Amino acid sequence: GLRHNHRLVALANLANAYGKLGDTGRKRDLLDRALVIKEQEYGREHPEVARNGRQREGDTRTEDRHYRT
For 7-66, what is each residue's pLDDT tens digit? 888 998 999 999 999 999 999 999 999 888 888 887 777 777 776 665 556 655 554 444
Q: What is the pLDDT of residue 64?
A: 46
> For residues 61 and 19, is the Cβ–Cβ distance under 8 A?
no
Kindly state the DSSP code that residue 69 receives in the 8-state scheme.
-
Closest CA to 36 of 58, 61, 2, 11: 11
The pTM of this model reads: 0.64
Q: How far is CA 30 from CA 36, 60, 69, in A?
A: 10, 12, 24
- At residue 22, φ and ψ (nearest 5 deg) are 90, 5
Check whether 2 has a pLDDT greater than 70: no
